[in-house]
Chains A and B, each alone.
Chain A
Amino acid sequence: MKQLITLNINNQNYDVIVTPMDLLVDVIRKAIGLTGTKKGCGQGDCGACTVLIDGQPKLSCLTLAITCADKKIITIEGIANEDGTLHPIQDAFLDHGAVQCGFCTPGMILSAKALIDRNPNPSQKEIKTAISGNTCRCTGYINIVSAIESYANLVAEKGAK
């Protein structure tokens, strides 16, 4: 039972044909070709597949694509500025050496951005809690936490978002 649905991803509409059981992560990666979103465990544990759905970080490996027809989805490709320059949170990750192999990075950045959007002034504990569902298999957590702290400070100083 294939169905045509429209997915709004990074403020662009994509018409895709899906079956009800297609997972959002597969549709984003394979049908649409945005491969920034990663698929790690497929079980909800690693957070590599995190995307923002209506502003909230959610796991695209546990989301049926068909449930997202009326929603706004943001993937890592939608984070940079329109002119192609990096978003300050991406700069912060680079500046702090928070990226090793990069597999966890898209999910980390989206979880971190969602945290700062709901709580612009998080404690270190709150940062760690917010990314506890994102596994970094290169175990670069210290630099990741510093990068998020520095982005939070920047938002506090300049109101940058």
Chain B
Amino acid sequence: MNILSNFQYHAPKTKAEVLDLLADIGDKSKMLAGGTDLVIMLKEKMIQTENVINIADVKELSGIKFTDNGVEIGACTTISEIENSKELVEKYGALVYAASQLGSYQVRTMATIGGNISHSSPCGETPAPLSALNATVVIESKRGERTVKPEDFILGNRQNILEKDEMVTKFIIPEPVAHSAATYGNIGLRNAMEIDAVNMAVNIELEDDKKTIKSAKLIMGSVAPKPIVSEGVPSLLVGKELNDELIEKVGEAAMSEATPISDVRASAEYRKDVVGALARRLTKEAYNKAMEA
């Protein structure tokens, strides 16, 4: 019954043990968190590895911890823990909603947030809302720690900035500033279990008048090999109040920046239309929510 090729199995108990193992054999290893991507890739022989390091049961790597200035989410926290977290909903609802959209419930009880960004698929569910919420990805190795923005972590389809001895240990998300709100949306081909044709997250911050846009961020996934952070949308919005004409322009700007491909899931043309529709809807929603926040 060995359909996977042979590898040696390691089950470290602490983060320090994981980092030691990575320093020693990181170049010949794959980390196993939920396994929802890795086990499939091993089965399909898309990758081979001499060692598998199971990090799923390392307690220090998982959990949701609130701090004075925000929240820290361990890399091995499962997507279902995030989806079910009543404490996260209020301020980090865009991430909670994105979590609820990933795969099926069984996939979500296994899949981890660290695995989602580390797999670096262009259609990953959580990188866009993490960017919109101004999250920081914390990367550690025996050599030390460094931090990056989610949008700078992914370099292309299944490519990221991790060195062989490094891992993602947690995400730090700051408390949202006053009069700001983030939204997330995704459109696939059917309602459940789909891989997104397009996903997007938006963050709008308003001035104290609760009308004028102080800053704006729009990130789209699945429309290029890596998530795209819009440059056109913030320059359209900052300093203005949102109106119908501006919303139309936001849709056009996002469409002009997306460089989608045609594949079995959707044509490039359809994806561009979806980008426009999502950009208009999510910007409006974020603006309205920011007026209340």
Show the binding face of A for B, using Cβ within 8 Å: 1, 3, 19-23, 26, 30, 42-45, 47, 50, 56-59, 62-64, 66-67, 70, 111, 114-115, 118, 128-130, 132-134
A-B contact pairs, 19 of them (CB 8 A): A1-B6, A3-B9, A20-B6, A21-B3, A21-B6, A23-B3, A23-B4, A30-B1, A42-B43, A47-B104, A47-B106, A59-B36, A59-B110, A63-B110, A64-B52, A118-B84, A129-B192, A133-B105, A133-B106
Shortest Cβ gap from B58 to chain A (Å):
12
A26–B2 Cα distance when bound, in Å, is 9
Over the window 79-108 of chain B, the binary record of Cβ atoms lying under 8 Å from chain A Cβ atoms (1 yes, 0 no) is 010001000000000000000000111110
How far does the Cβ of B163 sit from chain A's closest Cβ, in whole Å? Answer: 25
- For residue B7, CB closer than 8 A to chain A, the reply is yes
Q: Do A111 and B8 have beta carbons less than 8 Å apart? A: no
Contact A64 B105 (CB under 8 A): no
The number of residues on chain B lying at the interface, defined by a beta carbon within 8 Å of a beta carbon of chain A, is: 33
A interface, over-half SS: mixed
In this complex, the member of A64, A129, A130 whose beta carbon has the largest number of chain B beta carbons within 10 angstroms is A64
Partner of A21, one of B2, B57, B105: B2
In-complex Cβ contact of B7 among A20, A43, A128 (8 A): A20
Residues of chain A with a CB closer than 8 A to B109's CB: 56-58
Question: Once the chains are docked, how many angstroms separate the CA of A100 from the CA of B192?
Answer: 23
Known: A56-B80, A63-B39. A19 touches B106 (CB 8 A): no
